[in-house]
Chain A
Amino acid sequence: SAVISQKPSRDICQRGTSLTIQCQVDSQVTMMFWYRQQPGQSLTLIATANQGSEATYESGFVIDKFPISRPNLTFSTLTVSNMSPEDSSIYLCARRGGLNNEQFFGPGTRLTVL
């Protein structure tokens, strides 16, 4: 198992503002992952955050909208910029682990944009 924490656990934000979500993992890992779970939907990978290099974004996600930092091997941040109500989602971070690189998830950040 893994211990992964996220801050904040939830937030309500105004349109046009930005929110930075923090993720702390319990062991040093090269890769961390950021997912979005829109209401009633599955998880969609936003980007893979590699320590020491730029994050790799999936199709439909761009760095200007979702800048990611990875300052060390146990920490990452995801910023949701210039928010709109369509950004209302649960944002989850994850790390690889286990013998076969299954992913372990943080508890998620529930974001509501008004």
Chain B
Amino acid sequence: AQSVAQPEDQVNVAEGNPLTVKCTYSVSGNPYLFWYVQYPNRGLQFLLKYITGDNLVKGSYGFEAEFNKSQTSFHLKKPSALVSDSALYFCAVRETTDSWGKFQFGAGTQVVVTP
């Protein structure tokens, strides 16, 4: 079985400061890992993914994430946060061996960026 944990319900950061949103996962095999963002009254937008290769993955809107196999983590980062980054962020995992491609989502982390 696969699972995802986002330990923080909310992250508060001042504009211009670094932003980190934490995610840890558990799978029986190798993972595909994803980050999605949800703005108010909108669907989920894909940010980035880790499949294989370089542990540092770059995605949309200046976000990046680092895959750490030993710590089973996939933290989302942005060097300089913007007020417009305020949104709900979801980490998701899919087992590479799952042909159905079912995703397991974390509980979500609300990011609040203050001016």
Chain A residues packing against B (C-beta within 8 Å): 1, 4, 31, 33, 41-43, 45, 48, 56, 92, 96, 98-108, 110
Contact = CB atoms under 8 A, between A and B. Distances in A.
A103 B46 CA distance: 8
Q: Is the interface of A mostly helix, strand, loop or mixed?
A: strand
Given A42-B107, A101-B94, A31 B101 contact: yes
Contact of B43 (A31, A45, A107): A107
Contacts of B94: 101
Given A96-B101, A102-B49, A42 B42 contact: no
Contacts of A101: 32, 94, 101
Contacts of B45: 105
Given A45-B102, A102-B49, A103-B103, 14 more contacts: A1-B46, A42-B106, A43-B44, A45-B103, A98-B49, A100-B51, A101-B101, A102-B32, A102-B46, A103-B34, A103-B101, A104-B46, A105-B44, A107-B42
Interface string B32-50: 1010100001111110010
Contact of A31 (B44, B100, B108): B100
B105 interface: yes
Contact-size category for B = 20 to 34
The 6 A-B pairs at the shortest CB distance, nearest first, are namely A107-B43, A105-B44, A105-B43, A43-B105, A101-B101, A42-B107
B41 A110 contact: yes
Given A42-B106, A42-B107, A101-B94, A106 B43 contact: yes
A102 B102 contact: no
Contacts of B100: 31, 48, 56
A98 B102 CA distance: 15
B107 A41 contact: yes
Interface string B8-44: 0000000000000000000000001010100001111
